[in-house]
Amino acid sequence: MKKSICLYFQVHQPTRLRLYRFFEIGKDSHYYDDFANRTILRRVADRCYLPMNAQILKLIQESKGQFKVAFSISGSFLEQCERHCPEVLDSFKALADTGCVEFLSETYYHSLAALASASEFKHQVLKHKENIQKYFGVTPETFRNTELIYSDAIGAMVYDLGFKTMLTEGAKHVLGWRSPNFIYSGAQAPKLKLLLKNSVLSDDIAFRFSNRSWDQWPLTCEKYLDSLKASAADSEIVNLFMDYETFGEHQKAESGIFDFMKALPGAVLTDGTFEFVTPKEAAKKHASVGVLDVPDAISWADEERDCSAWLGNELQEDAYNKLYGLTEKLALANGKQLWSDFGHLQESDHLYYMCTKFFTDGAVHKYFNPYDTPYEAFINYMNVLSDFSIRVDDAIDAAQQGGEKEQPEIVIVKPKNVPGKAKKTK
């Protein structure tokens, strides 16, 4: 039996907030930077989404369906594409029509709801599932949480929602001596199969490809195939997970990234050691080799591979707690626009902009960041959240004056064992 390569790409663009000043609180409730959202989406579409989708479509056709990939596309991205760049949606639909592309399920707003609210998490997963069906005509069978965030408890929630396969990070502090190149089972959901990212080989493309000081530069298909074969020598599957913006945005076209990806499938298929599979195909093909215990949440972010990129300092914790502290009130207010704004304010990017890490991780955090400092991000976000809180209270008052209504049950799950604060710098 041939070994497997599973290629998965995350596709997301946040709904960026405009500069929202203190004196606007209670007076102006339009929070979004429409110009920046449209401009950035168009730029990345021209550099990445459109050319890369066209290339993948051609590779699938030329390989007669042997080349396969998977995408996880956030609801926030779908909304922006429908508003500003419908041709991107059309290009993804063309890929869906090949039958060689799997579309995964995730949180609609690319949020941290899995750590905060079981009911909100379920709502977003179901909303996202409906939209994938609407846009691409397929029903997601595999789950990928925001930023590959996973824990035993999250895995149990995902399994209860009907998913049998989930993607996450092959974190060294969780795996220990074990390899990410196998399929594992969830500790609280033994029938949930886990596909783990091979961080080294994924990051060779996503982060190191154009680094001229890297000892493997320039990375050729021949070199990379040798690395794939060496990594999988005593294992079954190599999972290559990365941001889709790697192609043309993070790694510019002039770096040769498109040429590399154009040649890679042919080199792999000609060699014959591997075949390309989608996540659901991988789960059917390979059996679990054991249980993966993950009591504390992990992710694919930063060197720590935990949640400190979003919840690693007091600024982030304050914003997070205030935001999700409104969940019960929102159930009482129950306004459509309020729920929409609540969803967009949950986008993990807003908390990511408040990260105070430095050095290698700091450089990553600065990319696509519209703020000069984490403190500016925090102040702007909290101004918006203050206005939003006022609107929620006003809506509750209006609802109570209009008569009592039967309210849905809201279950708040406080995050447990979230990694501690980032180290203070001098």
Decide: 10 and 243 in contact? Cβ < 8 Å: yes
Q: How far is CA 223 from CA 104, 122, 275, 345, in A?
A: 30, 43, 18, 43
Supply 349's token pair. Answer: 């990017």
How far apart are the C-alpha atoms of 116 and 148, rounded to whole Å?
A: 16
Q: Which residues have a catalytic role annotated?
A: 147
**Which residues contact residue 323 at a Cβ distance below 8 angstroms, ignoring those fewer than 6 apart?**
342, 345, 346, 385
Decide: 403 and 319 in contact? Cβ < 8 Å: no
DSSP secondary structure string for all residues of 271-329: H-SEEEE-HHHHHHHS-EEEEE---S-B-SSTTTTSSHHHHSSHHHHHHHHHHHTTHHH
Supply the DSSP symbol for 45.
Answer: I
Supply 93's token pair. Answer: 């639909």
Supply the DSSP symbol for 46.
Answer: I
- Please name which of 386, 107, 34, 251 lies closest in space to residue 42, comparing C-alpha atoms: 34
Cα dihedral across residues 105, 111, 116, 119: positive or negative: negative
How many C-beta atoms lie closer than 10 Å to residue 233's C-beta?
10
AA letter at 381: Y
DSSP secondary structure string for all residues of 151-214: -HHHHHHHHHTT-SEEEEE--HHHHTTS-SSSEEEESS-TT-EEEEE-HHHHHHHHTSTT-TTS
The distance of Cα 303 from the centroid of its chain, to the nearest Å, equals 17
